[in-house]
Structure 1
Amino acid sequence: MSDATSAPSTSLDGKVAVVTGSGRGLGLAYATALARSGASVVVNDVDADVAGQAVETITEAGGRAVAEVVPVGTAEAAERLVGRAVSEFGRLDVMVTNAGILRDRVLWKMTDDDFDAVVTTHLRGTFTCARAAAVRLREQGEGGSLVLVASPAGQRGNFGQTNYAAAKAGIAAMVRTWSMELARAGVTVNAVVPVAATAMTETIPAFAPYVDALRGGEPLPGFLRKGEGFGTPEDCAALVPFLASEAARDVTGQCIGIGGDKLALWSHPQEVSVAYADGGWSPRTIAETWHTSVGREPQAVGIPAPRLPKAPEGVIPA
């Protein structure tokens, strides 16, 4: 039988974390959870007032936090964030790359600016911040954690989100690559795949009435919290300090979903069906065998629509 008292600690006392895009929503929930676990936190946002309010929220609860106001994406911004952690708290242990924006449009209506803005913030911002953190963590020689924020859209695709889905899929690939590259330095690299009521999900029609009810003080119903794994930003927060702690020293290279009452491990892409032809394939032989061999069970795409219980018209199911 395992002894709970012998389990590795999840305390982050003495640790220092940077959380990008942490002025509100999921980012603020991550920063607050890290501070509650004992870490000192560099809060980041593009809005000075929002960042300041986040710092105040954390410090009033007994945590330690400072704000660094800068849009992520450039190497200079990443250096500022890491530099602020070191100058203010003396070190860096955890980098959480959460900052993001949306510019949703279908392919034929998406502009270059729509694409570039999202990829710059999500993908390049994750790259530059993780790189700056990796340099510092390797110099310190004491290990550390990179916690990247992914999305179901990056795992399955999502209508109207070419830019966002591509960036999030790239982040999942970065997790797998960097977990190998940083293993010798004792740095773990994982992705959080959150599902929560935020500005990015409240526009989904199926969720809208429940998000409105949540704002009014009503709890989310069980079928959403369990069946859909959909909850509040705070429901997603515990995974971040866990991944930054000694309890997760052997967890790396993983994409881990969390939301509502649900915790899940996402699979890595792999071959699901194979066929062979002596001497190789031609277009004709592929066509002749496709539907009876590798194409027999094509893979699904897109995020499944919520399975909402039926209810009388005008009644929200409990």
Structure 2
Amino acid sequence: MSISTDLSGRVAIVTGSATGLGASIAKRLAEAGANVVINYSRSSTEAEATADECRAFGVEVHCVQADVSEDADCRKLAQVASQYGRLDILVNNAGITKQVPNHADLAGLDKDDFLRLYSVNVVGPFMMVRAAEDLLRAAHEKTGIASAVLNTSSIAGVTGIGSSVAYAASKGAFNTMTLSLARALAPAIRVNAICPGFIGTRWFKDYMGEEKYNRMEASVRAATPLQHACDADDIADSAMFFLTDASRHVTGETLLTDAGTHLGFAPLKAR
């Protein structure tokens, strides 16, 4: 039996979708036929540009400013989707970090850092699911197909590496919450997570500067078994598996999408 990846008529919210991975996922959803709610916190110009790219596929697109760490803003996003009477897809992509890459530098983090990261990276997605639950269930009732929630986590939540101890801890909690919600919301709603490693985005380039970024990208490519430094489109490809009927039988899954970084070694070259 052929499984359709056509999302025509379905409705999706993608948090943190003005730029980067969120924008790539939003555009893939639009290309597949879904109407998309794009969310941003500050990047209004970039969000509108992403929305225009999505509209080029002939779908309806709404741009909504919202901070997912605020319950009222999560409910505002769900309210926009409610005009369709259903929500088929929720991508919890919004996330933040604080850069303290030396994990031994315990003085580099304080209580407020942890609370801010957890409020966006863990509590925010929970509140988004809670705000959208009725709409997600309505889509299941209408179509007979389980609605899809996809959480953008990180390899940091599996291995403990990453930009800071607080960030890794928040993503570990996010992975655990994915499992809890998958159990609690089945069979009407599927909940899965992707765990990228390095993603070559504009944010990295702006933060590091082009020369340092290029060195890091080359280092990542050399160290991963697949010898590939992933970009946003690479990860969006994996995301789309979880957002279409191809994964209709998958829930509670945490997929590492890191070109093999978690394996910790590069492959031996054939002689």
TM-score when scaled to structure 1?
0.71
Residue 47 of structure 2 corresponds to 51
Equivalence for 1:156: 159
Residues 229/154 of structure 1: CA separation in 2 closer, same or farther (3 Å cut) = farther
Question: Which residue does the alignment assign to 2:229?
Answer: 230
The Cα shift of 1:245 comes to: 1.5
* SS at 2:187 equivalent: helix
Counterpart residue type for residue 192 of structure 2: N
CA contact (8 A) 1:102 1:200 kept: no
Equivalent-residue separation in structure 2 for 1:35 and 1:210 (angstroms) = 34
2:128 aligned partner: 129
Could you list the runs of 5+ residues in structure 2 that have no partner in the other structure?
Answer: none
Matched residue SS, 2:37: strand
User: SS at the partner of 1:55?
Assistant: helix
Give the CA deviation at 1:117: 1.6
What SS class does the counterpart of residue 135 from structure 2 fall into?
A: helix
- Residues 7 and 224 of structure 1, relative CA distance in 2, 3 Å threshold: farther
AA at the equivalent of 1:83: Q
Residue type of the alignment partner of 1:50:
E
2:192 counterpart residue number: 190
Counterpart of 1:37 in structure 2 is: 32
Identify the match of residue 87 of structure 2 among 64, 71, 92.
92
Find the aligned partners of 1:101 and 1:182 in 2 and give their Cα distance: 26
CA contact (8 A) 2:122 2:174 kept: yes
* Alignment of 1:209 onto 2:221: no
SS at the partner of 1:92? coil
The 8 Å contact of residues 36 and 61 in structure 2, kept in 1 or not, is answered as yes
RMSD: 3.1
Structure 1 unaligned residues grouped into runs of 5+: 1-5, 214-219, 265-301, 310-318
Deviation at 1:148, TM superposition (A): 0.4
Cα distance in 1, alignment partners of residues 173 and 16 from structure 2: 19
8 Å contact kept, 1:224–1:231: no
Alpha-carbon spacing, 1:303–1:81, altered in 2? closer, same or farther (3 Å): same
Question: How many pairs were matched up?
Answer: 256
TM-score of the aligned structures, taking structure 2 as reference length: 0.83
Among 3, 6, 9, which residue is 2:4 paired with? 9
Greater CA radius of gyration, 1 or 2? 1
Change (3 A) 1:173 1:228: farther
What is the CA–CA distance in structure 1 between the aligned matches of 2:225 and 2:24, rounded to whole Å?
Answer: 20
Identity of aligned residues (%): 29
Do 2:220 and 2:228's aligned partners in 1 also have CA atoms closer than 8 Å?
no
Q: Label 1:83 to 1:208 Cα distance change in 2 as closer, same or farther (>3 A).
A: same
Higher helix share: 2
